[in-house]
Structure 1
Amino acid sequence: MTQVLPPKPPARPDKVSLWRYVKLFRQDILSAQPQRLYRAWMAAFKTPFFRSYMINQPDLVEEVLKRRPDDFPKSGRISEGLRPLLGNSVFLTNGETWKRQRRIIDPSFEGGRLRETWPAMVDAAEACVARLYARVETGQGTPIEIEEETSHAAADVIFRTLFSIPIEHEIAREVFTRFRDYQRSQPILNIAAFIPLPRWMPRLFRKDTRQAAADIRGLITQLTTERMDAISAGTAPDDLATKIMTTTDPQTGDKFSTEEMVDQVAIFFLAGHETSASALAWTLYLMALYPDWQKQIAEEASDLDSPEFSALSRLRVSRDVFRESLRLYPPVPMMVRQNTCPEHFRDRDIAPGAQVVISPWHLHRHERLWDNPDGFDPTRWNTENGRQCMRNAWIPFSAGSRVCTGAGFAMAEGPLLLSMILKNFRITAVQGKDPVPVAHLTVRSAEGIWLRLEKR
């Protein structure tokens, strides 16, 4: 019997005009790409304004992300659309500014910090289950748009671990609401991503995009200011916000100012909430598509009443399933770098200033690297091919010095939430509502992911 393949967006024709490509790209990155990229080691894209090169060859990816990251800083083009919300956050900076920010941020995510934040994650998972119970009891079999629920749960995790407040807190709830407005109004790229504009020229953003970003930053500023006052008074809780705000740069002795902290909290919320919500929603859909795996996770999670941190190491099936979901649906589908030196990749001369694109979406499904690249197979991680690809072709959190600071948190949060949900609910897909992956801020479904839940 042929296995049903997980949904994949259609590829565009191999050759289209520049303006057709720009239009497709602004609508959805994934379906704007040709099929050949799933086999190519490298591909070039030329416009009147810049040159772009996608690299899928593992040793070239390693060269850019691991061996010489300073020679390939983040491209400023892609950041243009995110500036209103993220300011000068660690996600957008390069060079010494970025290094200073990471020196202050990284200690808060090292050592035993994951163990310390685990109770907050468990509380968020239990709150998510309670919300789902309420919806199932009142909905009487009505389908649930699960991305809405996973967004709520991921935002709850962020606020509990960062500021020790649940999503029901007035400010947290308002940040979450306004962020949804921002997400819906902001295309992943604005025109400055395609046409180089001088720094003095004003960037054009939709009015509702600017307003949503300003509202979010205002609310975060309020939280940050209150926390700085509590730190000064000696009454601040020992959470991630306190840890980051009291950490000094070992080289300069400086701490983050209020404005700098607002920038960082904005990216923590964007990266930690948006990406986790995407990953969990797709994983739950895959469990509806493959009920045998759903059953295995439910059985594995049967003793998760109020899980201690040691339980995380026992969630092996959940971890492998979540890892496979991240392979098929990496939340961040593309990463864009800019070379600062003349390069020669695969017989191509690449002039300084060109864009070098690394696409987890294509790398994770590359037909010359992976066995059964489009299939769902969590057992692959115990095969030689799976282990090899995990080392050099699985980068949902990027790699090298710019690897996501919260990668360890995500790999704890995802399996925990997945296990807690499947322990309590049986999930089935809704006929006629197969999700179509599209990429905006992250990989989401064009019309949402609709599932039916029933109590176990």
Structure 2
Amino acid sequence: MDRTPTPFVPPAPSPRTEPPSMLQMMRIVYKNPLELWGEPSYNEPWVSVSGVGGPLVVANDPALIRHVLVDNAKNYRMATVRQLILRPILRDGLLTAEGDVWKRSRKAMAPVFTPRHIFGFAGPMLERTKAFADRYEGGGVHDIAVDMTNLTYDILAETLFSGEIAGEPGSFAHQIDRLFETMGRVDPLDLLRAPEWLPRLTRIRGRKTMAYFRKIVADTMEMRRARMASDPDGAPEDFLTLLLRAEGPGGLTRGEVEDNIITFIGAGHETTARALGWTLYCLAESPWERGPIEREIDAVLAREPDPTKWVDAMPLARAAFEEALRLYPPAPSINREPIVPEQWRDLWIPPKASVLVMPWTVHRHRKLWENPDAFMPSRFHPGNREKIDRYQYLPFGAGPRVCIGASFAMQEAVIALAVLMSRFRFDTTPQTDPWPVQKLTTQPQGGLPMRVSAR
């Protein structure tokens, strides 16, 4: 008799069975774009339709995804709609810059994210997580979505900025939520590809929050410049110093340095935070998965004090995190448009088409995954992980613009899970009723209230 528990199916919008009207679509896209996609998006290799703002291609076939993001990446620029949403926030940061500006930024940051540097971050990641975990002594109900935002902010501030970010960390999670609630939503004018100078009423409320972030960054830069001037040998050799040294002729402009700091403070930790929250939630609803992970963590911590080795030593913990990234990809859409229209097999990609590579639909595609809506970390266990096509699993993107911080995020996540789950157990409560909503990231609407108790 098979006693394997039925896998937990976490909440997600059901595929639409009929197209929405124009007005419905506008409302859905503003409220939650994840609710827009119909059955074809989860079943077909691609979908090609005429959208509100012009032609739309949804790419699900891994070979097509590779073509757009890798093999013919030079023919694809950032989609107009995506830039209309993100550029007001990030300007010329790494996520939104193109051409020579992007190349300069990527080159300037690359040394920070080499394996040697990332291993060097493991110690501070461990210490910050241990200190953060102390707040759970005494148990109680905590909003894990907020807590993970605060934790990953602490880690980012310590590793990339040596703890020297201006402003009050305590208000940071609230401000991030407000920024994404206002500036991070798709405005109907974006779908219509209205010019940038036309005000987006939905984002006017976010201007104060955006000014808050810009001030934090300006103050942070000035603090570090002053330290570098007064004590050139004493300034930490971190991400912030590296960027400031890259400023000048042939390097980054002052504005580009500021934009990249905004990008990493505002988005660099947010993606990992969301994935950690979803991981703890899914494990709480799957105790048969959680138990072996807790035993794995306990065994590794008892014999291996070096946190740089934990990612490889904890395959079950890593697999749970990767499965949460599959179900709730922090960046649920990758948007491109062709510079020159082209034919790919039977698909015509017309001029000015919005080409969407949607990790949200690709990761839940009926032809690519078995039981795609279920939380099944075994997909990523050793021996299974290697069978997954590189272009059917895209939590960090692919191609030249693959996330520069992917290894950083994976190490951070495993260390955080190891520390938190070695000391505490996270359980859902009657109030735990999250609903995935796409703002800039895949966020749990209603938060993640969970009961924390000592193990």
TM-score (normalised: structure 2): 0.91
The within-5 A match list for 1:238-317 is 238-247=237-246, 254-302=250-298, 304=301, 307-317=306-316
Match of 1:130 in 2: 134
CA distance in 2, matches of 1:318, 1:382: 10
What secondary structure sits across from 1:157 in the alignment? helix
- Greater Cα offset, 429-438 or 28-37: 429-438
Q: Deviations over 1:253-295 (max 9, x none)?
A: 6333332211001111232221111100000001101112222
Q: Who is 2:123 aligned against?
A: 119
Which residues of structure 1 form unaligned runs of 5+? Answer: none
Deviates more, 1:145-154 or 1:302-311: 302-311
Q: Secondary structure at the match of 1:379?
A: helix
For residues 158 and 271 of structure 1, the distance between their equivalents in structure 2, rounded to whole angstroms, comes to: 11
Which ranges in structure 2 are unaligned for 5 or more consecutive residues? none
- Does the C-alpha gap of structure 1 residues 341 and 327 become closer, same or farther in structure 2, counting only changes over 3 Å? same
Where does residue 28 of structure 1 map in the other structure? 32
| 2:39 is the counterpart of 1:41 | no
Change (3 A) 1:441 1:292: same
Aligned to 2:339: 340
Query: Taking structure 1 as reference, are residues 177 and 433 closer, same or farther at Cα in structure 2, changes over 3 Å only?
Result: closer
For residues 171-190 of structure 1, the aligned pairs below 5 Å read 171-190=168-187
| Matched-pair contact (CA < 8 Å) for 1:283–1:325 | yes
Pairwise CA distance, 1:386? 4.3
SS in 2 for 1:391: coil
User: Counterpart in 2 of 1:3?
Assistant: 7
CA contact (8 A) 1:276 1:410 kept: yes
C-alpha spacing 1:205/1:258, structure 2 compared with 1 (3 Å) = farther
Shift of the 175–198 alpha-carbon distance from structure 1 to 2, 3 Å rule, reads: same
Distance 1:440 1:200, change over 3 A: closer
Tell me, yes or no, if the aligned pair for 1:151 and 1:277 is still in contact at 8 Å: yes
Partner of 2:370: 371
SS in 1 for 2:292: helix
Aligned ranges for residues 410-449 of structure 1 at < 5 Å?
410-431=409-430, 433-449=432-448
Q: Which moved more, 1:291-300 or 1:421-430?
A: 291-300
The answer (yes or no) to whether the contact 1:85–1:216 under 8 Å persists in 2 is no
Q: Deviations over 1:322-381 (max 9, x none)?
A: 111111111111111011111123523222211100000111111111222222222223
Quick check: 1:146–1:281 contact (8 Å CA) kept in 2? Answer: yes
Contact 2:325 2:395 in 1 (8 A): yes
Match of 1:82 among 78, 86, 89: 86
Aligned to 2:63: 59
Residue pairs, 1:349-368, within 5 angstroms:
349-368=348-367
When residues 16 and 201 of structure 1 are mapped into structure 2, their CA distance, relative to the original with a 3 A threshold, is closer
1:229 maps onto 2:233 in alignment: no
Alignment of 1:132-211 (within 5 A): 132-133=136-137, 136=139, 139=140, 143-165=141-163, 170-204=167-201, 206-211=203-208
1:110 is aligned to 114
- The answer to whether the Cα contact below 8 Å between 2:10 and 2:282 also exists between their aligned partners in 1 is yes
* 1:453/1:382 CA distance change after superposition, 3 Å: closer
Partner residue in 1 for 2:102? 98
Q: State the alpha-carbon separation in 1 of the partners of residues 417 and 57 from structure 2.
A: 37
Indicate the SS of the match to 1:365. coil
Letter in structure 1 aligned against 2:325 = L
Query: For residues 356 and 382 of structure 2, what CA distance do their matches in structure 1 show?
Result: 29
Equivalent pair of 2:247/2:253 in contact (CA under 8 Å): no
- Residues 285 and 347 from structure 1, CA distance in 2 versus in 1: closer, same or farther, beyond 3 angstroms? same
Give the distance between the partners of 2:389 and 2:128, measured in 1 at CA: 29
Aligned length, in residue pairs: 446
